[in-house]
Structure 1
Amino acid sequence: MVTLHKKLFTTLFSLLLLSSAAKAADYEILYRAKVHPDSDVARVEIRLRGEQLPNQLTLSLDPERHRSVTAEHGLRLDDNSAVWKPREPEDSLHYEFVIDEQKASGSYDSLLTEHWAILRSDKLVPPIAARVPKGLEGQAELQFLLPEGWSVAAPYPTREEDSARYLLSDPGRIFPRPKGWLILGDITSRQDIIAGTDVRVAAPAGQGDRLQDTLAFIGWNLPAVKAVLPGFPDQLLIVTAGKPMWRGGLSGTRSLFMHADRPMISGNRTSSLIHELIHVGTGISGGKRADWIVEGLAEYYASAILFRTGGMSDWRYEQVLEWKTDWAREADTLFARRSSGPVTARAAIFMHRLDQALAKATDGAAGIDDVARALAQDRGRVSLAQLKEIVAELAGDAVDVDALIAGLENAG
């Protein structure tokens, strides 16, 4: 009887999967990008195929980077947008994307060289607002057309029959599009499964001296990150390169970029790499005057995770907190438009004090990890009001967020 029930369950589950797959394939979306070092642009095609297609797509363009937008019909161009009404059963839109993006310092966020390219797929394909008939779902893939000898590292699984085509997922979006860092060209990489996440560290060929070190560092610390954030993606790409790329770290969907010269643990015993891992794991952004919440959590864990995994002693961790407290005094307030430097240090100290206050109020039953998990639940924009609501759910009136903030302001 048990065997019969098991077979019945297996059959029903298989039918459910087939039904879901059929539903997901109402129409197909193919993003195709042709990249060649002889050109300064990627030539991009968005091709739709199906008996029924979205009624209208509106692309939010960067006029300096998205240019020469064309379609056979149904296209209207405004200053910063392209409105496209595709026709069944198959239609396509084309444009050029300028890959190089240089900062005022002279370094690059995005760059195409003779041998490789580093860029973000959510810049390659701009934000798209879609009007879609109710219940219609699209299945999206990303394909690259590259010179011979070039390969790709992207934060998505590939099709078994075609390693140059990536299967995209964009939960919560009506019209899925690619997001996250990419590295193309003559590249080198190291890869492993760590705490259930497929981790790949990639760099241009000749710049991969620290790939194994980075993979080992992730193996040491990612389990602790995932203990805080169990919703951490099951795929992670870390792209690294040296000059002339920007000398910093920046997270993306299922991915991050870290300059090759950045230490994994800095002299002040924080880790930029862990900081960015927290951004990847939470997937949150700051609402109005709330960027300090996002950056404060990341900077708090940049040291706390190292402490938890044995990367420093108790007294060394106390030194870190003292250093951040001193630096925080240079900030006038937490509520800056963008959190960086002293503001982020002040926000990290707030998170530390909130952790202590929650532990005291709940006899150790709650702490900052619970706050981080709650904020990351929807992977969206966060606010001070949301933070207060979470704290109230954990500790009632026993922890006063406003008083903690005021304490920091007075200490400054």
Structure 2
Amino acid sequence: MTLRFYITSLLSLLLLSVAVPARTAEYELLYRATISPDSEVARVEIRLNGNKLPRRLVLHLNPERHLKVRSDAGLTVEDDRATWKPKGPQASLHYDFVISEQKASGSYDSLLTADWAILRSDKLIPPITVSVAKGLTARAQLQFELPSDWSSAAPYASTSDSKHHYEIVDPGRLLPRPKGWLILGNITSRQDVIAGVDVRVAAPAGQGRRLQDTLAFLAWTLPDVKAVFPGFPDRLLVVTAGKPMWRGGLSGTRSLFMHGDRPLISGNRTSSMIHELVHVATGINGGKDADWIVEGLAEYYAANILWRSGALSDLRYQQTLDWKEEWAGEADTLFVKRSSGPVTARAAVFMHRLHLALQEATDDAAGLDDVARELARDRGRVSLSQLQEIVHALAGNKVDVDALIAGLE
């Protein structure tokens, strides 16, 4: 046999090995929660089904809310950690979850009443780390067992299998987990598709007088939010309710909560609704002393989106910027653990100045939208150094982030 024959054979084997795809396996993962107004807790089951199952799951519990964790085998519970080594092809873990959570102010950010429940699924199902064989993936679903006259709304698509049954989407995660706001019970809602986003606005029955107003406001402003953030989720659930729920707004995955008494546009011409929409759009969180970046972006766009959509005139928008400049003077620094009030106003002023500096340096070729999109690209933790790198890539040495920060003092 010739040398050419051996080389040809070797190349064929190499090509064959490259062409064969890696084997993958799938198991079914079901999160089931039974909720009744007769009980203060949700009865939660995590069920696994498949020829191959994860080697180990570690649940990071809130000991005050995740109670009575139990399984037939392979479970160890220590303080705020439950380590579960499931034995298959079928395995289940159970626990009780305390639904209602009261803040120091006396209001609630999670509540179960005789007629409805509002809570977050990422509190119901705690963070879970998992150890799995390479190529093993999960098909995850969330299901509720509720009183027969109750409805449900979640930021996921319903399955065709049964009532209150949802497909879980959690890209990039070895173990898909439900996240975002939920409303269950005797509820009312309005729904539409806005800029390609399936939007649902829901409230307890009798508290839905502003649902259509909210949907119309989103129809006016969400297209401009999505123009800045093309990666905006394809589904959005807005949950709203009055007393005794917390009188504020809070974003979640593909969802947000907004108290029913909060105005869509406040007297200072900003919008808490848009502020939370930006959080939904970016999915980012602040690293060490970087929460101001996250909150500053949201607060900047809370007025800017109103202006670019035509809801604010140039004069009114400038008045809003001037008001933020004045309020920002009450903050000594941006670098605090949690940004709020004057610190957030100071951060919004920085974002506006950064936008103007980028426009000037690039002859209007770049602005804050470009920075915001880059920060939101990976939907993860952001930092000042990352912000500096993005600005340098857009404008080189023509824009000095540190100098802009120092100029706020």
TM-score tier (shorter): over 0.9
Partner AA of 2:190 in structure 1: R
Q: Does 1:204 align with 2:176?
A: no
Partner in structure 1 of residue 303 of structure 2: 303
Aligned to 1:160: 160
Cα separation, 2, equivalents of 1:162 and 1:235? 20
Corresponding residue of 1:66: 66
Q: Does 1:134 align with 2:140?
A: no
CA distance in structure 2 between the aligned counterparts of 1:56 and 1:237, rounded to whole angstroms: 33
Q: Deviations over 1:202-239 (max 9, x none)?
A: 00000000000000000000000000000000000000
**1:43 matched to which residue of 2?**
43
Residue identity in the other structure for 1:46: I
Quote the offset at 1:256 in angstroms: 0.1
| Aligned counterpart, 1:188 | 188
The letter for the 1-side match of 2:387 is L
Which structure 2 residue ranges, 5 or more long, are not aligned? Answer: 1-20
Q: Report which stretch shifted further, 29-38 or 163-172.
A: 163-172
1:391-412 CA distance string (max 9 Å, x none): 0110011100000000002xxx
Q: CA deviation at 1:160?
A: 2.1
Offset at 1:92?
Answer: 0.3
Matches of 2:272 and 2:286, distance apart in 1: 19
* 1:275-299 CA-partner distances (Å, limit 9, x unpaired): 0000000000000000000000000
Q: What residue number does 1:314 align with?
A: 314
- Give the C-alpha shift of residue 88 in structure 1: 1.3
SS in 2 for 1:137: strand
Letter in 1 for 2:236: L
User: Which runs of 5 or more structure 1 residues have no equivalent in the other structure?
Assistant: 1-18
CA distance in 2, matches of 1:160, 1:396: 53
Matches for 1:207-222 after TM superposition, within 5 Å: 207-222=207-222
1:170 is displaced (CA, Å) by 0.6
Match of 2:5 in 1: none
Q: Which residue of 2 aligns with 1:230?
A: 230
Q: 2:272 is matched with which residue?
A: 272
Q: Give, in whole Å, the separation in 2 of the partners of 1:312 and 1:282.
A: 24
Distance 1:202 1:87 in 2: 40
- Give a deviation string over 1:149-185, Cα, whole Å, max 9, x none: 0010000001123232100011111101100000000
Matched residue, 2:246: 246
Q: What secondary structure does 1:159 align onto?
A: coil
Distance 2:79 2:372 in 1: 39
- Structure-2 separation of matches of 1:162 and 1:355: 49
- TM-score normalised to structure 2 length: 0.94
How many Å separate the matches in 2 of 1:69 and 1:129? 16
CA distance in 2, matches of 1:153, 1:372: 30
Distance in 1, Cα, partners of 2:231 & 2:78:
39
| Distance of 1:339 and 1:64 partners within structure 2 | 27
Tell me the amino acid that sits aligned with residue 340 of structure 2.
S
In 1, Cα distance between the equivalents of 2:344 and 2:172?
A: 30
Q: Partners of 1:398 and 1:157 in 2: how far apart?
A: 46
Number of the residue aligned with 2:358: 358
Q: In structure 1, how many angstroms separate the alpha carbons of the residues matched to 2:197 and 2:160?
A: 19
Structure 1: distance between partners of 2:341 and 2:313:
25
> Once the two structures are aligned, what percentage of the paired residues are identical?
71
Deviation at 1:148, TM superposition (A): 1.2
Look up the equivalent residue of 2:327 and give its one-letter code: W
- TM-score, normalization by structure 1: 0.93
Equivalence for 1:324: 324
Question: Structure 2 counterpart of 1:358, which letter?
Answer: L
Partner of residue 78, structure 2: 78
- Taking only aligned residues, the RMSD between alpha carbons, in angstroms, comes to 1.1
Distance in 1 between the 2:352 and 2:408 partners? 12
For residues 392 and 100 of structure 2, the distance between their equivalents in structure 1, rounded to whole angstroms, comes to: 47
User: Distance between the aligned counterparts of 1:299 and 1:199, measured in 2?
Assistant: 22
